[in-house]
Structure 1
Amino acid sequence: MGSRYDSRTTVFSPEGRLFQVEYAMQAIDNAGACVGLLAGDGVVIAAEKKATSKLLAPSKTSEKLYMIDDHVACAVAGLTSDANVLISYLRRVAQNYKLQYQEPQPLEQLIMRVCDLKQGYTQFGGQRPFGVSFLYAGWDRHYGFQLYQSNPSGNYGGWKATAIGANNQAATSLLKKEYKDDCSIEEALELAVKVLNKTMDSVTPSADKMEFSVLRMDKDTGKLVQHVMHDDEVQELLDKIIAEEKEAEANAEAKAA
């Protein structure tokens, strides 16, 4: 039934569906998982790295995490080339606003601009939707720390915790069980590791397969700080979670015995 209505982004099926947009979302479900958690004192975004070959040349650029402005970072799941186009657009919009008003652009206003662009690509012939979803982590003086998610249709929403990419339903289920309001950044990081361990295809998770970015307010300077964790920091966090899980399993076995 769908093949009669999926050749154009502008054609609705009798059920009111746009199949090209749904296909784009299915492509995102095959990408590496990304997780975002809103903590009481910051925002944590974590992502699974797919390209981990030892033959790849060392690079300072991230595969999944990007800086948009001093107050906004994002994680992407889907086609990286599509993401690059939208990230360049977001950076231009943010800088134009700062040039005009001499202050950072409010986070939701910035996301609305890029979502308007994404929605436009679903309603004109000869164009296809962007095959990428975003998690945005940021801060502004109006609402403090915020976490948003957007998809190829141009729809977006604010979240306390959410996941995109591969196995996102399993990740969301775990977040519903274990996420707590006003948790600390340390607790959010630990939960992010647990979620990635559950969603990643790898049997042996390691630091080189994960990326973490923390957005927080520096207590000494009062300025916003974005920190992308190094591999040794990620490995230390991973070792801690694995040790806790083994201890929990041992205690459960002891109780059962």
Structure 2
Amino acid sequence: MSRRYDSRTTIFSPEGRLYQVEYAMEAIGNAGSAIGILSKDGVVLVGEKKVTSKLLQTSTSTEKMYKIDDHVACAVAGIMSDANILINTARIQAQRYTFAYQEPMPVEQLVQSLCDTKQGYTQFGGLRPFGVSFLFAGWDKNYGFQLYMSDPSGNYSGWKAGAIGANNQAAQSMLKQDYKDEITREEAVQLALKVLSKTMDSTSLTSEKLELAEVFLSPTGNVKYQVCSPDVLSKLLVKFGVTQPAAETS
């Protein structure tokens, strides 16, 4: 039945659905998962890296985590070429705001501006929706630390903890059960790694298959975005009991 109504983005089905947007969401469901958790002293983002080849150089760049401005970062799930365009758009918007007003762009205003762009691709003919979802983590003077989730329709919402990508429903259920208010950043890292270890398709969790990033305030009061190195991530996996320490060879 849907075949009559899914040839264009702008055609509604009799049930009021836009199938092209739903297909884009299905594409995201096959991508590596990402989890974001809001804590009282920062925001934690953890993503699953899809290692396609051992020859791929992954140490020089990140696949799931991107810095948009000094106070905003994001985790990505979906088609990376689509994500790159939107991330560059968000970076330009953030810099234009800073240039005009001499202060960082409020996090929600930046998210809303990017989602307006995404919504336009669901409204006009000859375009297809962006096949990517985002988890935005940031801090501003108005609302402090914030976590937002957006999808291909251009919709966005604020969350205490959220998941996108593969097995996101299972991850969301676990987060709903285990999340507690006033959680610290270290506890948020532990919870995110625990949830991802149980929802990833891979049987063993290693630092090569994960990316961990945090947005927090430094002792001087500046917003800091930090990506965890593979060595530190391996130690965290062992510390929180997600993986067993490697056996020493004599």
TM over 0.5: yes
Q: Which residue in 2 is equivalent to 1:254?
A: none
Check 1:244–1:207 CA distance in 2 against 1; reply closer, same or farther (3 A cut): closer
Please tell me whether the aligned partners of residues 33 and 165 of structure 1 are also in contact (alpha carbons under 8 angstroms): yes
Aligned equivalent of 1:141: 141
CA contact (8 A) 1:52 1:208 kept: no
* Amino acid of the structure 2 residue aligned with 1:148: Y
User: What is the identity, as a one-letter code, of the residue corresponding to 1:184?
Assistant: T
Query: Deviations 1:140-184 (Å, cap 9, x if unpaired)?
Result: 000000000000000000000000000001100100111111100
Q: Distance in 1 between matches of 2:56 and 2:81?
A: 18
CA spacing shift, 1:58–1:107, aligned 2, 3 Å: closer
Letter in 2 for 1:222: G
Partners of 1:186 and 1:36 in 2: CA distance: 13
- Identify, as 1 or 2, the structure richer in helix: 1
In structure 2, how many angstroms separate the alpha carbons of the residues matched to 1:28 and 1:93? 25
> Partner of 1:103 in structure 2?
103
Which residue identity does 1:66 align to in structure 2?
Y
Matching residue of 2:237: 238
Q: What is residue 56 of structure 1 aligned with on the other side? A: 56
- Equivalent positions of 1:180-219 (< 5 A) are 180-219=180-219
Please report how far the alpha carbon of residue 89 of structure 1 lies from its aligned counterpart in structure 2 after TM superposition: 0.3
Deviation at 1:96, TM superposition (A): 0.4
Alpha-carbon distance in structure 2 between the residues aligned to 1:113 and 1:197: 34
Q: Which runs of 5+ in 1 are unaligned?
A: 246-257
Contact 1:52 1:209 in 2 (8 A): no
8 Å Cα contact 2:42-2:145 kept in structure 1 = yes
5+ residue gaps, structure 2, are 245-250
Alpha-carbon separation, structure 2, partners of 1:164 and 1:212: 15
Runs of 4+ in 1 over 3 A off after TM superposition: none
Counterpart AA for 2:141:
R
The corresponding residue for 1:13 is: 13
Q: Percent identity?
A: 61
Q: For 2:116 and 2:99, how far apart are their aligned partners in 1? A: 22
Alignment correspondent of 1:252: none
For this pair of structures, how many residues does the alignment match? 244
Distance 2:190 2:58 in 1: 27
Is the CA contact 1:90–1:110 (under 8 Å) kept in the aligned structure 2? Answer: yes
8 A Cα contact 1:138 1:146, kept in partner: yes
In the alignment, the residues of structure 1 paired with residue 105 and residue 60 of structure 2 have an alpha-carbon distance, to the nearest angstrom, of 27
